Amino acid sequence: MSYAIALPELTPAPLTPGTLYLVATPIGNMEDITLRAIRTLRDCDLVAAEDTRHTGMLLKRLGLAKRQISTHKFNEAKRSAEIITLLEQGGTVSLVSDAGSPGISDPGQRVVDAVLIAGFRVEAVPGACALIAALTPSGLSTDEFHFCGFLPVKSGQRAKRLAKLLDLPGTLALYESPYRITKLLDELAELASAREVVLARELTKKFEQIQRGTAAQLLEYYREKKPKGEYVVLVSQALGSASEHASNEMD
C-alpha cells in the first residue's frame, strides 16, 4: 500500500543551511508521520538512517528518493565527521532511527553532541515516541515520571539498577525486549509487589495491547502466552512517596 502524501499548498520556511534535523518517524502506524517530517525528509540533502534498508522502505512509501548513509551505534563517530563536513558546506541532514524519536534509546546522541560542539544547529522535528504513547493512556501519574530506557542485561547490574530506580518518586518508565520481559516481571514481583504495572506493546499498530495489574498478575498471563514485540513498562510510584504526599497536600 502506497502512502505517497501530497503536501498541502503552503509556503513553509525552507530548511536552514548547516542544520541537523532530528526527524521522528512512525513507531507503527504510518499515519503518525507529520507533514513537517515529510517536508524535511523531502528537502534535506542527506538522510542519516539507523538502517538504510528500513528507512528506504519508509521513503519509498512516502514517494521520496533520497541519498542515505547508515548511522548506527557502531559508526556514530565516523558518521558524525561526515555529517559535519556536509553541514560546513551549507547542507542539511535528517537523522532518523528505525522508529520514533532519534536519541531516545536509539542512536543519535553522539551525533548531536558532535554537531553542537562543531558549532552547528540541531533542530527537532517531533512526532511519535513509544514512551509518550504508552504513558498518556496508562492511568498512572504523568505529573512526574522517570524514563530510564533499557536495564542492564547482566543480572547483578540489573538488580542493583532496578532497586535504585524503584526509589525514585513518580512513575518509572522502562523499555524491555520480549526476551526479558518475564524476567523483569519476576524482579518487580519481588521488589515492588504492591505497585501497579502497565505493559504496552505493539503501540499504534493493529494489535496494540495495554495491560494493567501487579507484576504477579501479569506474570500469570505470560505463563501461557509468548511475549511478542517491544515493551514499554510503567511502574506506579510507591505508596507514601514524596511526590504522592505533595500531591495530596495540594488537593
For the chain, which residues make up each domain, given as ranges? 19-128, 131-245
Cell of 110: 553522539
Q: State the Cα torsion 115-119-124-129 to the nearest 10°.
A: 40
Of 35, 168, 7, 20, which Cα lies nearest the Cα of 82? Answer: 20
Q: What pTM did the predictor assign?
A: 0.87
Identify the CATH assignment for 131-245 out of 2.60.40.1930, 3.30.950.10, 3.40.50.1860, 1.10.10.10.
Answer: 3.30.950.10
Name residues whose C-beta falls within 8 Å of residue 109's C-beta, 6 or more positions apart in sequence.
103
Of 140, 154, 156, which Cα lies nearest the Cα of 232? Answer: 140
Does residue 204 surpass a pLDDT of 70? yes
Between CA 250 and CA 243 the distance in angstroms is 11
How far CA 91 is from CA of 46, 82, 102, 166, in Å, comes to 8, 11, 20, 45
Give me the pLDDT at residue 245, please.
39
Q: pLDDT tens-digit profile of 132-179?
A: 999 999 999 999 999 999 999 998 999 999 999 999 999 999 999 999
Task: Please give the class, per CATH, of domain 19-128.
Answer: alpha beta
Between CA 55 and CA 98 the distance in angstroms is 7
